[in-house]
Structure 1
Amino acid sequence: MLRPNTVKARLARGGESYGLFCSIPSPTLVEMIGCAGYDFVILDTEHTLVDPQQLENLIRAAEAVDLVAFVRVPEADPGAILRALDAGALGVVVPHVRTRADIESAVRAARYAPEGMRSLNGGRVPGFGRIDLADYIRRANEEVMVIAMIEDAEGVDELPSILAGGGVDLVLEGAADLSQSYGVPWQTRHPQVRDALDRVHAECTTQQVPFCAIPRTREDHERWQAAGVRTFVLGEERGLAARALRAHLDDHRGNHA
């Protein structure tokens, strides 16, 4: 059932929020992320195979531990936006936003009239009738976030017009794909990539749209904090788990030797 979006409220107050990408479709893992103290999770349906029932259960797991669930949808897929929100997500991460038209399409799919034309539906988000449907529409438009992921050179160049029309609640950087867009694949700390991220942040500041960074080192985190950034994605659970597993084994092998 629809609940207050604590991340959106924290953004409005200028508070910090921390999240993780989650690519393994396991409700237990989502529950662990919430119990660890993260504020939000981005459930990935762009790069991973997640069926609709799995997604709904991942969102239920997040709700059980007061973890705000966002869903990264496949590029240019209004149907995926609708299904994610009907499953209970409190926002969608729209990848590869390159033009204003990309955001207008996402907003149309994510918000009810008069802001958009999200298809009307009952079901679990209005609590199977516990929330009056007319009131639900109003509240959903207030709580659901549209998060634009800027991960192409074109998106960086077009960001002023992308944001000027409104409808974007948060901008998320995508340094990995951005590096490829600039011809330096996986060189996420390349000067050209760092300059592009700084340009994105500066434009967000100018247009008063919150910016979310993905720091890869403590130095990155501190640099973004000093620049006024308050929302962070601290990587992905697969990478964290793989590094922890290797470190655990290396530690025991070292001790045994």
Structure 2
Amino acid sequence: MSSRIDVTVAERSVAWGGWVVGPTFLGPEEFARTGYDYVGFDMQHGYLSDADVALMLRRLEHVPIATVVRLPSTDPAPIGRVLDAGADAVVIAMVETPEQAAQAVAATRYAPAGVRSFGPLRASLGMDAAELEARAGVFVMIETAAALPFVDEICAVPGLTGVYVGPADLAISLGHAVPDMWTTPEVTDAIRCVAAAAKRAGVVAGIHAGAGKTGNMMASWGFQMITLASESQALRRGAAEHLREATGSSGDNGAGAKGYS
């Protein structure tokens, strides 16, 4: 058994994702209905508890969409809880060294390979530790200048599913303004380097694009897991388009997607 993200990438070459930052049942289901491949739940910047995430994951148990949860650190306890609740993968923020990446992997593995505690919360997950390990994908975020010299070593960490670029924090770390992150050569070169390192290591390259056009560009750069929009961005864009149609106005359709992460 492999993680659902790995399977999707193998089948379709690119997995397209939505993002959820607050408690909602409709958002993830609408992403699935629209044809997105995965939905991410944000426990770093979002307003979500692990109980919120567990309820939404349960709601999606029979919905054809993969699920990932972003967490702020390699602390094994919260990582284990969201995996026990049925998340298909975790995305660990602010990883800067191969040692930290190895800690993230260990948090998804049982002894002797890791430090995860056994305790699946859903009967449908089964009780086979090896299968539970195999279905748990683990991504680490490359989003600081300090991580860039170690990208190849991070990508080579055994058991890692992939790396995931946070372009906003990466731009800030490199000394550039967030609105300029897609047009500043130092930032875009760093982003391309991460994708290239992932390809060399044979792991999935992911990124927070924040908009469809940017997502298309990231796919051309070799990224295979691309988050397009959060539920608030999607709602704002749709609401603005309805208002534009109703009033006959033109101009900014309210997309406002900057690709923040």
User: TM-score with structure 1 length normalisation?
Assistant: 0.87
1:234/1:88 CA distance change after superposition, 3 Å: same
Whole-angstrom CA distance in 2 between matches of 1:14 and 1:64 = 21
1:161 aligns with 2:161: no
- 1:71-150 maps to which residues of 2 (within 5 A)? 71-124=69-122, 126-127=123-124, 131=126, 133=127, 136-150=128-142
Contact 2:71-2:90 at 8 Å conserved across structures: yes
Query: Could you tell which deviates more after superposition, 96-105 or 12-21?
Result: 12-21
Residue from 240, 246, 250 that aligns with 2:244 = 250
Residue from 175, 181, 184 that aligns with 1:188 = 181
Whole-angstrom CA distance in 2 between matches of 1:183 and 1:251 = 40
Contact 1:34-1:62 at 8 Å conserved across structures: no
Q: Post-superposition shift, 1:218?
A: 5.4
Gaps of 5+ in 2: 250-261
Q: Post-superposition shift, 1:93?
A: 0.5
Q: Post-superposition shift, 1:172?
A: 1.2
- Identical amino acids, percent of aligned pairs: 28
Aligned residue pairs, count: 247
- 1:54-69 maps to which residues of 2 (within 5 A)? 54-69=52-67
Whole-angstrom CA distance in 2 between matches of 1:216 and 1:122 = 33
Gaps of 5+ in 1: none
1:27 aligns with 2:25: yes
Deviations 1:176-195 (CA, angstroms, capped at 9, x unpaired):
11111011131211111101
Contact 1:14-1:230 at 8 Å conserved across structures: no
Contact 1:74-1:80 at 8 Å conserved across structures: no
Root mean square deviation, CA, Å: 2.2
Task: State the partner residue of 2:252.
Answer: none
Task: State the partner residue of 2:219.
Answer: 225
Contact 2:18-2:36 at 8 Å conserved across structures: yes
Whole-angstrom CA distance in 2 between matches of 1:34 and 1:217 = 17
Deviations 1:130-163 (CA, angstroms, capped at 9, x unpaired):
83x3xx2111111110011111111122112212
1:177 aligns with 2:166: no
Q: Which amino acid aligns with 1:235?
A: A
Whole-angstrom CA distance in 2 between matches of 1:123 and 1:226 = 39
Task: State the partner residue of 2:36.
Answer: 38
Secondary structure of the corresponding residue to residue 61 of structure 2: helix
1:94/1:204 CA distance change after superposition, 3 Å: same
User: TM-score with structure 2 length normalisation?
Assistant: 0.85
1:5/1:204 CA distance change after superposition, 3 Å: closer
Query: Could you tell which deviates more after superposition, 84-93 or 162-171?
Result: 162-171
Secondary structure of the corresponding residue to residue 48 of structure 1: coil
Task: State the partner residue of 1:212.
Answer: 206
Contact 2:89-2:139 at 8 Å conserved across structures: yes
Q: Post-superposition shift, 1:14?
A: 6.0
Q: Which amino acid aligns with 1:167?
A: G
Whole-angstrom CA distance in 1 between matches of 2:204 and 2:216 = 17
Task: State the partner residue of 1:48.
Answer: 46
Whole-angstrom CA distance in 1 between matches of 2:210 and 2:40 = 17
Q: Post-superposition shift, 1:70?
A: 0.8
